Amino acid sequence: MTGPRHIKFYQTGTFTVGNRLLDVAVQSVQSSLDRNNSLTSGHRACQGCGEALGARYALDSAMRATQGQMVVANATGCLEVFSTPYPESSWRVAWLHSLFGNAPAVATGIAAALKVKGRSNVRVIAQGGDGATVDIGFGCLSGMFERNDDVLYICYDNEAYMNTGVQRSSATPAAARTATTPTVGDEPGNVFGQGKSVPLIAMAHFIPYVATASVAELRDLEYKVERAMTFRGARYIHVHVPCPLGWGSDTGDTIKVARLAVESGLFPLFEAEQGEVVGRRTIRRRVPVEEYLKLQGRFAHLFAKNADPRRIALIQAIADRNIARFNLLEGADA
């Protein structure tokens, strides 16, 4: 960071007052009085909803990057439902609701129509939850990547189908309790593998830009959205967004939980261009996965008296693999 004097990390945070300590050039979008307030107040998200926070930061950054020339297609899911109870809307962008499974295809159509009309200055974003992205909309998304359609797709990953009552998706982590993976039997919670990494799958399409982001690092999220808008063609950002209702976490702990996912290595933050990793955010203070897991009711059974310790070891192994794969400890404090 540049600035008139050395600014310590804890002095910046994500709040307006902290940002005043920084040079205007590096202040966050949210600290600006001119921000768009793309997802404005009055919506019906739960208290502490990571998805609402992530969407607001992402879209305000995109609006700044496009000078307000933007259309958004939104898959069915919490983000769509809590923001648009008919006839109200919390969106201050050109926004439309697609079906659950076809947001990438709808966005592709919008981009094609804009091109035909000679309006390529208007940029297109598609967004959806993990269910919409990694499961039901996955075929459409892969097609959008393969054709290199001029769309930025943003996935808000809360690791289950929250809108319909917390059912497992293929982004649900191992051992997590959901409505469809109850804590019964020899392997309580989610017994089905470890999900799929759509960021890595997106990279395998060699699209111009892929990134992961977290609501724990909101400035980094803003940067990645702005960076994505500098490219033409298909782009993908996967944002980790805690859901207090589905995760059984405290509504005041959303940022803390998101940060522990990053600092444990369970959610690596990286960027890739044309299929190659070009940047990653190293872990500042590594923590064991237990610190992340124990804040969430969906993992409470892992800490029960007769719990099998191999299940936490399995989750730690996933974190360790991420850390090694993305070289996340270089320059870390511990």
Binding site for ligand SF4 (CB under 6 A): 45-46, 49, 51, 78, 82, 158, 162, 243-246
In 8-167 the beta strands, taken as DSSP E runs, fall at 70-74, 94-97, 123-129, 151-157
Tell me whether residue 128 or residue 265 sits nearer to ligand TPP (CB atom).
128
Contact mark string toward Mg ion, 131..170, x via CB under 5 A: ---------------------------x---x--------
Closest approach, Cβ 315 to Mg ion, in A, equals 19
Tell me whether residue 40 or residue 120 sits nearer to ligand SF4 (CB atom).
40
Residue 289 near residue 302 (C-beta atoms within 8 A): no
Tell me whether residue 82 or residue 95 sits nearer to ligand SF4 (CB atom).
82
Tokens of 191: 């017994």
Does residue number 130 form part of the binding site for Mg ion (CB under 5 A)? yes
Does residue number 76 form part of the binding site for ligand TPP (CB under 6 A)? yes
Closest approach, Cβ 131 to ligand TPP, in A, equals 3
Can you tell me which of 73, 162, 239, 272 binds ligand TPP, judged by CB under 6 A? 162
Query: What is the spatial distance between Cα 329 and Cα 284, in angstroms, rounded to a whole number?
Result: 8
Stretch that binds ligand TPP, among 116-124, 127-135, 187-195, 215-223 (CB under 6 A): 127-135
C-alpha 94 chain-centroid distance: 21
Tell me whether residue 173 or residue 244 sits nearer to ligand SF4 (CB atom).
244
Does residue number 158 form part of the binding site for ligand TPP (CB under 6 A)? yes
Does residue number 61 form part of the binding site for ligand TPP (CB under 6 A)? no
Selection from 75, 173, 83, 78 nearest residue 133 by Cα: 75
Query: What is the spatial distance between Cα 26 and Cα 211, in angstroms, rounded to a whole number?
Result: 20
Closest approach, Cβ 51 to ligand TPP, in A, equals 5
277, containing H or E segment? strand 276-280
Residue 104 near residue 144 (C-beta atoms within 8 A): yes
Residue 56 near residue 80 (C-beta atoms within 8 A): no
Strand order in the sheet with 235-240: 94-97, 70-74, 123-129, 151-157, 235-240, 209-214, 270-273, 276-280
**3-class SS of residue 280:** strand
Tell me whether residue 128 or residue 244 sits nearer to ligand TPP (CB atom).
128
Q: In the complex, which residues of this chain contact ligand TPP (CB under 6 A)?
A: 51, 76-79, 100-101, 128-132, 158, 161-164, 169
Interaction site with Mg ion (CB under 5 A):
129-130, 158, 162
